[in-house]
Amino acid sequence: MNKKERFEAFVSYFKEAFPEPQTELNYSNPFELVVAVVLSAQCTDVRINKVTPALFEAFPTPKHMAQGSFEEIFELIRSVSYPNNKAKHLMGLSKMIMDDFGGEVPEKHEDLIKLPGVGRKTANVVVSVLYNQPAMAVDTHVFRVSKRLGLVTQTAKSPLEVEKQLVRHIPEEYVHKAHHWLILHGRYVCLARSPKCIECKITHFCRYWEKLEA
C-alpha cells in the first residue's frame, strides 16, 4: 500500500466510524477551552475535567482570572501536572486577553501563540476545535499513531515535521477531525506500550501491522 492509498483508507474509515469527533475536554466558551488546553499539557483530559468546574466557577472570565491571585489559582489546579507554571500562565494569558485583545480570546493563530503558555500545539487545538480550521495539533498520540500507521515517515523527528506531513496529505476539510481521530485511537486502542492490535479495526491500512504479519 502506498502513502496515498494509506491516507485514503484512513480518511475513509474514520469519516464513517467517527463522523463528528469531539475533544474530551469540557468547556463552554473559548476562554474555558484555552484554559483547559493549557492545563492539559502533559496531563490527562480526565484529570483536567476534574479541576475545571471549580476553576471556572471561581474565575468565569478572563477579567476574573486576571484579577485573581496566584495562590487562589494554584490551589484550584494543584492536582494537575506543573501547577506552578500553569497558574502563572493562566494569570498571564488572562491579563493579555484583557489588555491586548479587548477581553476576547483572539481567533488568529498568530495572536493565540502570543498568550503565555500557548504554543503552536495549543493554538492549533483551539483554532481547530473552535473554528474548524485545518490545523493539526501533534501531541504524543498523534505523533506515535501516525508513525505506526505509516502516514508519516519513520524518520520524522519533530511534531512540526509530523504536522506538515499530515496536513499535506489529509484533505483540508478533514484535518480538524483527523486530529481527534488520531488522538482517540491512540488513547484507547493504539496504546504507547501495548497497542491493542488484535482488536484494532484499522489493521487493513496499518504499516506496523503489515510488518507484524510479514
Q: Which residue is catalytic, options 86, 121, 147, 177? A: 121
Distances from the Cα of 41 to the Cα of 80, 128, 154, angstroms? 9, 17, 24
Nearer to ligand SF4, 46 or 198 (CB): 198
Distances from the Cα of 47 to the Cα of 44, 102, 179, angstroms? 5, 31, 21
Cell of 75: 490551589
Give yes or no: 157 in active site.
no
- Least distance CB 168 / ligand SF4 (angstroms): 21
Among the listed residues 99, 202, 211, 214, the single contact to ligand SF4 using CB under 6 A: 202
Q: Which residue is catalytic, options 139, 177, 196, 201? A: 139
CB-based contacts of 19, cutoff 8 Å, min separation 6: none
User: Should residue 9 be labelled a site residue for ligand SF4 when binding is judged by CB under 6 A?
Assistant: no
Residue 168 three-state SS: helix
| Stretch near ligand SF4 under the rule CB under 6 A, chosen from 16-24, 49-57, 158-166, 196-204 | 196-204
Per-residue x/- mask for ligand SF4, residues 130 to 169, rule CB under 6 A?
Answer: ------------------xx--------------------
User: Should residue 183 be labelled a site residue for ligand SF4 when binding is judged by CB under 6 A?
Assistant: no
| Stretch near ligand SF4 under the rule CB under 6 A, chosen from 45-53, 89-97, 164-172, 205-213 | 205-213
Q: How far apart are CA 208 and CA 180, in angstroms?
A: 20
Give yes or no: 121 in active site.
yes
Among the listed residues 78, 196, 204, 211, the single contact to ligand SF4 using CB under 6 A: 196
Nearer to ligand SF4, 6 or 88 (CB): 6
Nearer to ligand SF4, 55 or 170 (CB): 170
43 is in an annotated binding site: no
Cell of 48: 483536567
Which residues contribute to the annotated binding site for [4Fe-4S] cluster?
A: 190, 197, 200, 206
| Active-site amino acid positions | 121, 139
Binding positions: 190, 197, 200, 206
**Binding stretches for ligand SF4 (CB under 6 A):** 148-149, 189-190, 195-197, 200, 202-203, 206, 208-209
